[in-house]
Chain A
Amino acid sequence: GENVEQHPSTLSVQEGDSAVIKCTYSDSASNYFPWYKQELGKRPQLIIDIRSNVGEKKDQRIAVTLNKTAKHFSLHITETQPEDSAVYFCAAPRGFKTIFGAGTRLFVKA
């Protein structure tokens, strides 16, 4: 199909540990892969994105990796903190619109 598959649906880690969330997409023409963070009761906000001409991008404790051959991309959060607790959504374009993964609920335990 043309969905964006996201795993896991829930992730619980200890503060200071790393968290990894994975997504796969089906449209080989997709060239832009954003990640959004949604805190409870708030709007989703972009935290990092990657374009298909690079394999990895980092921004402080957050990194995204892309494997175009396998059509999957991952979000990596290192040294997790309680304020990282939120729902994370990956996304990929399908034609001219953006389709989101089902979301991963991340709990960071202090």
Chain B
Amino acid sequence: GAGVSQSPSNKVTEKGKDVELRCDPISGHTALYWYRQRLGQGLEFLIYFQGNSAPDKSGLPSDRFSAERTGESVSTLTIQRTQQEDSAVYLCASSLGHSGGNTIYFGEGSWLTVV
């Protein structure tokens, strides 16, 4: 499809386990974002990638969270030693360039439940 693709769509994991979430942006989009949305809450910025520039990691809540992106292709968000408070929807988004003036398109999200 032509949209932002995320996997898995749903993930239930035990506390303490590591999880990896994947995002495939729209082809040609150089900017890629990860946001976290807890149930009934807003969109919390996590990390931003723009082409081959150093990522903006200012939103990552702890060192248990990390993300990678190779060039302008897929990205993975890794959460180590998951905690119950990590339960949320993790939304990936992409845009043509940096967001100042470019529409951001969201994926369907990866729903993470930590039990």
For residue B65, CB closer than 8 A to chain A, the reply is no
What residues make up the interface of B, taking CB atoms closer than 8 Å to A? 31, 33, 35, 41-43, 45, 48, 50, 56, 91, 98-109
Secondary structure call for the B interface: loop
Q: A45-B106, A93-B99 are in contact. Are A100 and B43 (CB under 8 A)?
A: yes
* Extra inter-chain contacts (19) besides given A34-B104, A91-B104, CB under 8 Å: A30-B100, A32-B99, A32-B101, A43-B107, A43-B109, A46-B103, A46-B105, A51-B101, A89-B42, A89-B43, A93-B101, A95-B56, A98-B33, A98-B45, A98-B104, A99-B45, A100-B35, A100-B45, A103-B41
What residues make up the interface of A, taking CB atoms closer than 8 Å to B? 30-32, 34, 42-46, 49, 51, 89, 91, 93, 95-103
